[in-house]
């Protein structure tokens, strides 16, 4: 009896221990399942549903940071701008903004100038950064590149300032000269002299206004609406005739040569104005007793045959630092010389717009002290005939630089030079 009681007691104790152990194992299992794993942490640190899709369609560069300032998501544009490096945000001001926004939840925005990656010229990259909270732990950074917008705004601002200055100079001179004429009413010689100066300033003002109108027209009008086949030799003859008097005054010989019977497709008036500006510049910036040449040729190109019209002078040339800006509005390589020749600084800008609107381009070769060559490339009108093709390398090498090589050219001789 006592033995049976002892066995029963032992069985009860063993059952109780088994129950306790089972209960402890169950509790331990629940705790282990509730413990966050590395994969679950990664999932929690991910983006909320739908955010990734929204960020992929934004034009701005996007970067999402977690509570440890690690990059959870970054667009390709953010890497291209150099905002993210090694999984971290590489711009300290933006990182400080993100931390402040994570702390107080306020949206912040700032404009910064960042160094441009991959250039040794110290150019700044203008950006606008906006930081906002994304959920309870993440921070969203949106960065927009403002470099091009600032450049356009600077060009527009400079254009307005230059127009105001250019218009103010001749109008102010006319006002002063009119006062001088009134004061010298009893001196016929002085009146004649001042009237001549007034005529020069009035002509300069008229030319400036006309070129502003021409520039506005070529920018706003579609030249292909009234396009027609235009003979290149007629354009060359008209451009040479336009500068005939100025060339004769400086004893400059003008020569026209190259292939005959070439045609381009476009607006005759705009094309004549563009080529006329090139020839006029060549004459104005050439010393006396030199030579200006105009030559045309057919060039075979993969996208369609082109007509090249090159204007070459033996003038002062253009320095390397000025070559990238000569096609800007009102930019002058030598302002003093431009004022002496009556230049407005709009001629090459008009040429550039005319070439672009006709599906072509204008290029420049120049060497200081040796001269310059401006080449106008335009699509050929109609089907091209069998001609000897000229490759791009050969075209680049020749550039029509040596004006004396214009064989079978029609020369317009300058007056005889008196001893």
Say which CATH number the domain at 97 has.
3.30.450.20
Q: Which residue, 152, 162, 270, 151, is CA-closest to 208?
A: 162
For residue 419, pLDDT over 60 is answered with no
d(CA 263, CA 261): 7
Residues 6+ apart with CB under 8 A from 93: 110, 112, 129
Same domain, 325 and 361: yes
Return the H-helix or E-strand segment holding 196.
helix 188-220
Please, how many CA atoms are within 13 Å of residue 342, restricted to the half-sphere of its CB?
Answer: 17
231 and 337 share a domain? Answer: yes
pLDDT digits (tens, 9 = 90+) for 237-270: 999 999 998 899 999 999 998 888 899 988 888 8
Of 178, 197, 220, the one marking the end of a domain is 220
**Same domain, yes or no: 227 and 214:** no
Check residue 70 and report its DSSP letter: B
The rounded Cα 239 to chain-centroid distance in angstroms is 29
- Give me the CATH number covering residue 192: 1.10.287.130
C-alpha to C-alpha distance for 331 and 334, rounded to whole angstroms: 9
The 10 Å Cβ neighbour count of residue 283 is 25
Greater pLDDT, 400 or 121: 121
CATH number, domain containing residue 289: 3.30.565.10
Does 184 lie in the same domain as 80? no
Residues 300 and 214 both lie in one domain: no
| 228 shares a domain with 120 | no
Residue 333 placed within a domain: yes
Q: How many angstroms separate the CA atoms of 10 and 167, rounded? A: 116
In a domain, 67, yes or no: yes
Residue partners of 43: CB distance under 8 A and separation at least 6: none
Instruction: Please check whether residue 236 lies inside any domain of the structure.
Output: yes
Same domain, 261 and 398: yes
Enter the pTM of the model. 0.52
Ranges 60-64, 235-239, 346-350, most confident = 235-239
pLDDT tens track for 283-294: 988 899 999 999
Residue 30 placed within a domain: no
**Total domains, the chain:** 3
Q: How many residues does the chain have?
A: 419
The parent domain of residue 167 ranges over 148-220
């Amino acid at each position: 009896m006592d033995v049976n009681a002892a066995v029963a007691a032992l069985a009860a104790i063993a059952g109780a221990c088994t129950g306790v152990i089972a209960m402890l194992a169950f509790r331990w299992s629940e705790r282990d399942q509730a413990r966050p794993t590395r994969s679950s942490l990664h999932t929690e640190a991910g983006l909320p549903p739908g955010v990734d899709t929204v960020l992929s369609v934004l034009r701005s560069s996007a970067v999402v940071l977690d509570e440890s300032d690690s990059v959870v998501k970054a667009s390709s544009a953010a890497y291209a701008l150099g905002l993210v490096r090694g999984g971290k945000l590489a711009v300290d001001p933006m990182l400080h903004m993100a931390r402040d926004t994570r702390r107080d939840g306020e949206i912040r925005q700032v404009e910064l100038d960042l160094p441009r990656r991959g250039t040794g010229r110290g150019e700044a990259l203008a950006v606008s950064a906006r930081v906002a909270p994304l959920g309870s732990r993440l921070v969203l950074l949106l960065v927009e590149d403002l470099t091009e917008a600032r450049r356009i705004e600077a060009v527009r601002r400079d254009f307005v300032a230059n127009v105001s200055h250019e218009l103010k100079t001749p109008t102010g001179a006319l006002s002063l000269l009119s006062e001088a004429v009134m004061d010298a009413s009893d001196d016929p010689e002085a009146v004649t002299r001042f009237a001549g100066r007034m005529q020069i300033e009035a002509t300069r003002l008229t030319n400036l206004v006309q070129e502003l109108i021409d520039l506005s027209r070529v920018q706003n009008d579609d030249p292909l609406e009234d396009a027609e086949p235009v003979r290149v030799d007629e354009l060359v003859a008209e451009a040479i005739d336009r500068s005939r008097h100025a060339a004769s005054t400086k004893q400059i010989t003008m020569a026209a040569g190259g292939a005959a019977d070439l045609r381009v497709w476009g607006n005759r008036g705009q094309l004549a104005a563009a080529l006329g500006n090139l020839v006029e510049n060549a004459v104005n910036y050439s010393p006396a007793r030199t030579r200006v040449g105009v030559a045309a040729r057919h060039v075979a190109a993969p996208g369609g045959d082109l007509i090249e019209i090159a204007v070459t002078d033996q003038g002062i040339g253009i320095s390397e630092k000025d070559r990238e800006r000569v096609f800007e509005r009102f930019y002058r390589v030598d302002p003093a010389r431009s004022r002496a020749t009556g230049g407005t600084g709009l001629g090459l800008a008009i040429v550039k717009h005319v070439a672009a609107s006709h599906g072509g381009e204008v290029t420049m070769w120049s060497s200081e002290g040796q001269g310059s060559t401006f080449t106008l490339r335009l699509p050929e009108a109609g089907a091209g005939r069998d001609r000897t093709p000229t490759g791009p390398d050969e075209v680049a090498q020749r550039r029509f630089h040596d004006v004396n090589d214009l064989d079978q050219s029609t020369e317009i001789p300058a007056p005889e030079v008196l001893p």
